[in-house]
Amino acid sequence: MLSIKPCFALLCGILLFGCQQPESPVTQEQPPKQQKQEAVVDLTQMCKNLKKNMSEINNQRTTFALEEINQDLKVCLPLLKLNEQKQLLKLSTTMYDNFLEVERTPQQQLAFEQYAFDMAQHPTIQQSHFEQFSLRDQYLIKHQGQAYIELIDQGEGMLAYRRSPQYLAIVFAPYMPEAEKTFITELAQQNMQAPFLDGALTIDPQEIVARALFWENYLQQYPQSSYKHDAEYLLQMYTHFLFKGMNNSLVSESYSDQSAIRSSSLFEIEKLAKLKQSHLAWQAQRFLQFLDLSEQQRQAQIPVKLTPQQKQSGQSNLLTIKQLDQFLGLPELNTRSPRDCFRDAICLAPAA
């Protein structure tokens, strides 16, 4: 008798073999479709044309034209040296000035000024006389926020267009040396909120100290920066804001003692005085010492003589201010400075 097990095994093997699925045929890869050859952009020629294209921007062009140039700048700037980058940076400022220039009739100027007044009084008001604006005003107001265009309060009821400080920080700074990149990036951030308006400070003493310390540290870290003189000016300005304020937001009127100092300013100055290895901290210490001096001690230790013109100025605390300046080593500020460092991400010539 045949053994059942071998037959069973043989039968199973035949069945299994018959049940196996045939292997899927190998799919042959189709040769890739021939792609159209894209035109290779001649970067050299594009960058050569950049200056010409920037110089042709005027107040008849659109935000789209600006955006195209800004994209080209991002391509070309990494290929250039610092002096060439700065030439384009200067040209970009002129480009935006030309783009934002508006010619108005007297009636259109009045309508724009009324718009400024309404916006100052009621920021969410809908302008009901929009059609009275010049066509360029209508266009720019509609396109705020595009191509880095802003409409800002200049004070005294006046609005003005400007290029956002973030423009240089985004378009130029990433491709520049570290010192210039740091300067532009920080000043752009600071000037998103201008420090003063209508002769009064718009930032608190804590922010003033932070900005002053930044410029002090910047000068220590980048002593060879091409923006060194502008950083020195910014440090001087914020030092004056800290210890003296502005005409419409004085730190003190008499500086007679600590009780005569605005409390928020005194608090920040006392904190600053505790820092080490900082000239600003040394000035803060001197400021507190000045408050402890009597009028007689000040006259003896800080001999200051006013000119006849200064005596006739009518400013009652002028002698005290001059003594404070000398005691802290505060340089006299040039109120007619040819540079405006509080509008953009670099210091600019004042707007005409």
* 20 within domain boundaries: no
Confidence tier at 180 by pLDDT (50, 70, 90): very high
Confidence tier at 24 by pLDDT (50, 70, 90): very low
Give the rounded percent of residues in the chain with a pLDDT score beyond 70: 83
- Check whether residue 323 and residue 341 sit in a common domain: yes
Among the residues of the chain, which ranges form H helices?
Answer: 4-19, 43-55, 63-76, 82-99, 106-121, 135-142, 166-171, 178-190, 205-221, 228-243, 263-272, 279-292, 295-301, 308-311, 318-328
pLDDT, average across residues 257-274: 98
Of the candidate ranges 14-28, 187-201, 212-226, 235-249, the one whose mean pLDDT is the lowest: 14-28
* Domain range for 270: 182-352
Count of domains in the chain? 2
* pLDDT over 50 (residue 262): yes
Of the candidate ranges 44-53, 61-70, 188-197, 216-225, the one whose mean pLDDT is the lowest: 44-53
* pLDDT over 50 (residue 29): no
- Check whether residue 208 and residue 177 sit in a common domain: no
Confidence tier at 8 by pLDDT (50, 70, 90): very low
Quick one: which of 47, 65, 77 has its CA closest to 171? 77
Quick one: which of 134, 133, 135 has its CA closest to 115? 133
DSSP letter at 33 equals P
3-class DSSP assignment, residue 111 = helix
- Check whether residue 306 and residue 317 sit in a common domain: yes
* 87 within domain boundaries: yes
Torsion angle, CA of 350/116/185/167, rounded to 10 degrees?
A: -90
* pLDDT over 60 (residue 187): yes
pTM (predicted TM-score): 0.84
Torsion angle, CA of 89/165/349/338, rounded to 10 degrees?
A: -130
- Check whether residue 345 and residue 250 sit in a common domain: yes
Confidence tier at 331 by pLDDT (50, 70, 90): confident
* 37 within domain boundaries: no
- Check whether residue 250 and residue 232 sit in a common domain: yes
- Check whether residue 162 and residue 212 sit in a common domain: no
pLDDT, average across residues 13-39: 41
pLDDT at 221: 98
* pLDDT over 60 (residue 173): yes
Quick one: which of 144, 113, 145, 143 has its CA closest to 129? 113
Confidence tier at 143 by pLDDT (50, 70, 90): very high
* 34 within domain boundaries: no
pLDDT at 125: 56
Quick one: which of 306, 309, 307, 270 has its CA closest to 289? 270
- Check whether residue 166 and residue 212 sit in a common domain: no
* pLDDT over 50 (residue 329): yes
Residues 291/261, Cβ–Cβ less than 8 Å: yes
Largest distance between two CA atoms of the chain: 143
